[in-house]
Amino acid sequence: MTTIGYGDGVPNGIFSEVLVCAFVFAGIVLFALIIPSKAVEYLFKKHEILLVKALPTYQKDGLKTF
């Protein structure tokens, strides 16, 4: 978590400021790694469902060219 300056606790020393920066960047990286992978999983599942629904139509009508 980060502070916005409204009476929140803030780091006072150089070491604590560097440590807080490391935690902020680690949180951003962790968020950037987890969220896209979950979105891709969701989209693949939706795509699979659409393909399974379309399969009987394809098998019945055969391949059509547009």
Instruction: Kindly report, residue by residue over 15-65, the tens digit of the pLDDT.
Output: 988 998 899 899 999 888 888 888 888 999 999 888 888 877 766 666 665
Instruction: Give the pLDDT of residue 46.
Output: 92
Instruction: Give the pLDDT of residue 64.
Output: 61
Rounded CA gap, 50 and 40, in Å? 15
Instruction: Give the pLDDT of residue 11.
Output: 78
Place of tokens 């009987």: 56
Place of tokens 């920066």: 21
